[in-house]
Structures are given as C-alpha cells and as structure tokens.
Amino acid sequence: MKKGLITLAATLALTVGCAHAADRVSIGTGGTGGVFYAVGAGMADMLTAFDNDISANAEVTGASIENVRRVSMGQMTIGFSSGSTLYAGYSGEDPFEEKQNVLAIAALYPAILQVAATAASKAQSMADLKDLRISVGPPGSNSSVLAERMLKAHDAYNPDKIQYLSYGEATNAIKNGNLDASIILAGVPASAFIELTTTTDSKLVPINKENGEKLIAEYPYYTMTHVPAAIYNGNDVDTIAIGDPVILFTSKDADEDVIYRITQTIFDNLDTLGKVHPAAGLITKEKAPKTPIPLHPGATRYYSE
C-alpha cells in the first residue's frame, strides 16, 4: 500500500506539473545591437512575467529574412520582420523561392527611411541628392532597396554616386569628408544619426509627399510617416519620410489560443513594453491590425474583442 501511495503521489505530481507546463515561445529578433533585439528581449521578459503559461525567450538572428524562413518552418514561434520582407515571404517573391507559411500578429513601430546630408552639400530635397556622394545602406538590405526606389521616385537615382556602406561606415565617411549624405532604414532615434547630427553639421532631408504617395501606390506595404522634431540635434521640425513598418508575425500553423494570449499580453501591457526602447513606445492598439499580410486567427480574435 505504501508503495502504491508513493506511486500515485508521483503520478499526480507529474500530471499537475504537465497541466501547468508553460508554452515555450521563441522570438526571432536580430543582432544584439539592433532595435529588433531590444524590443524582442523586452517582449520575451514581459510575456514570461505576465502570463504564467508562457515561457518566452528572444533569439539572436540575422533579422527579417532569416526570421521569416525559420518561423515558416516552425523553428521559432514568432518573429520580427520589416513589412516589405514579410510581404515578399507571404507572396513567394524575391528573395524567397516559394510562399512562406506565415501570418501577421501586429504592426509594431515604423522603421523609417531617414536621409541626412551635410550643410556643405546644400541639399534641401531628395532631388538635390542626384549629384551627391550617397550611401544607401549595406548591399541587398531593406535600406538599400527602399532608398533606391525612393531616389528613382524623385528622379535622383545616380548609380555612379551611390555607395553601399553600413550605417556606422557611412557616418564615418561623412565625418572624414568622403561622403555627402547617408540614407538609413531604422527606428528612431537611430544611433548612427544621433552621432552624425551631433558631430557634424548634417541635417535631415524630407521626401516629397506626392512622390512618396506614388511609391506607396506601387508598393502598398510602405507607409507615409515622419521623423519627429527634435529627435536629432539641429532638426527642429517634423521631417516627412517613408516607412517600412516592423511586423510581429507567426506561422499559419501556430496554436490559435497561444497567439491570442501573446497578442493580449502585449497590448494589455503596452505601458510596460514601451519602457524597453523608444521604438516600443510607438506601438499602438489602433495601428496594430494594419498589416501587409492577413492576420493570424488568434490575433484577429483579440482585436475583434
């Protein structure tokens, strides 16, 4: 009897333990120095703290393209991606060879195409960049793709003048007099432009609203936005810009209840999430459902409530 009771107790303990086992949620982010990782790590901590049935962790990855592929294959639960890359994955467009198994959870914050030029260049508009030495970001990056599209929309694309540098390299090149302007795609404030505007006389360059709207008509996953005044030294007015919003997404096969609880926990605790990084403070419940691909049923259920 004693042996039987011990066995029963052990079985009950195991059963209770299994009943309360937390769902493991892995979040695909980006490099440790990027905004994806900063917000994703804060999100993982918050999900674990506010939902007793979730144990979340942020994974360091190569960002959007890797995240889309790995979430699609079920290697991670949710991930961060630019809207343009997620749309390409969902549609099976370059750089993806086939349609990816993904659905959206929420539009988070805008990654903004930010343009800065030196005072010596006298650039006041995108059209003025045509004959300047410009970096558009690393080759093949979302920054370079969107920058080239935007330059073409303003009839300012000049391949002989374009360089493909990292954001830090571009800032140093301007400081050394080897570059006139830098274009980056990032959340605000971006550390590269904080340094650039505090150590040089560089100023932000606005896009033309009409040209930006034409670009969005062709690529509907982009959005009109602005860089707020006073974000960067010496820039005292809002600067109109184009954005490639950051999207939180999951696989089509993800459990509806788990995705519902993830969505609920995030958006019922935005004040907490907003403290991890300035970009997270831009996330709103109103804009969240406006994603470039369809929403997962778990997210739809939360928004409909």
Domains identified in the chain and CATH numbers: 2-109+245-304 (3.40.190.10), 111-241 (3.40.190.10)
What are 216's two structure tokens?
């969005």
pTM of the model as a whole = 0.76
Q: What is the pLDDT of residue 205?
A: 97
The separation between the first and the last C-alpha atoms of the chain, rounded to the nearest angstrom, is 52
pLDDT confidence tier of residue 1, bands split at 50, 70 and 90: very low
List the beta bridge partners of residue 80. Answer: 248
Q: What is the pLDDT of residue 2?
A: 45
Q: What is the pLDDT of residue 21?
A: 63
User: How many Å apart are CA 132 and CA 135, to the nearest integer?
Assistant: 10
Contacts of the segment 218-224: beta carbons below 8 A, 24+ positions apart: 219/84, 219/149, 220/292, 221/83, 221/84, 221/86, 221/87, 221/245, 221/292, 222/83, 222/84, 222/146, 223/83, 223/110
Range ranked top by mean pLDDT from 5-14, 122-131, 139-148: 122-131
User: How many Å apart are CA 134 and CA 206, to the nearest integer?
Assistant: 15
Mean pLDDT of the chain: 90
- What average pLDDT does range 106-116 have in this prediction? 94
The CA-atom distances, in angstroms, between 234 and each of 106, 128, 199, 270, 290 are 34, 20, 11, 31, 33
DSSP strands (E only) in 68-142: 78-82, 102-117, 134-135
Q: What is the pLDDT of residue 75?
A: 97
- What average pLDDT does range 113-132 have in this prediction? 96
Q: What is the pLDDT of residues 31-74, one digit of tens each?
A: 776 788 989 999 999 999 999 999 999 999 888 889 999 999 99
User: How many Å apart are CA 46 and CA 150, to the nearest integer?
Assistant: 37
Instruction: Calculate the CA 21 to chain-centre distance.
Output: 31
* % of the chain residues with pLDDT over 70: 93
Task: Kindly compute the dihedral angle of the four CA atoms of residues 137, 138, 143, 146, in this order, to the nearest 10 degrees.
Answer: 100
Given a cut of 70, whether residue 12 has pLDDT beyond it is no
User: How many Å apart are CA 256 and CA 130, to the nearest integer?
Assistant: 49
- What average pLDDT does range 73-98 have in this prediction? 95
More reliable by pLDDT, 20 or 47:
47
What are 174's two structure tokens?
């301007």
Q: What is the pLDDT of residues 188-226, one digit of tens each?
A: 888 889 999 999 999 999 999 999 999 999 998 898 999
Q: What is the pLDDT of residues 149-163, one digit of tens each?
A: 999 999 999 999 999
Cβ(113)–Cβ(147) below 8 Å: yes
More reliable by pLDDT, 179 or 95:
179
- Longest Cα separation, the chain: 91
Instruction: Calculate the CA 177 to chain-centre distance.
Output: 31
**Type of residue numbered 207:** I
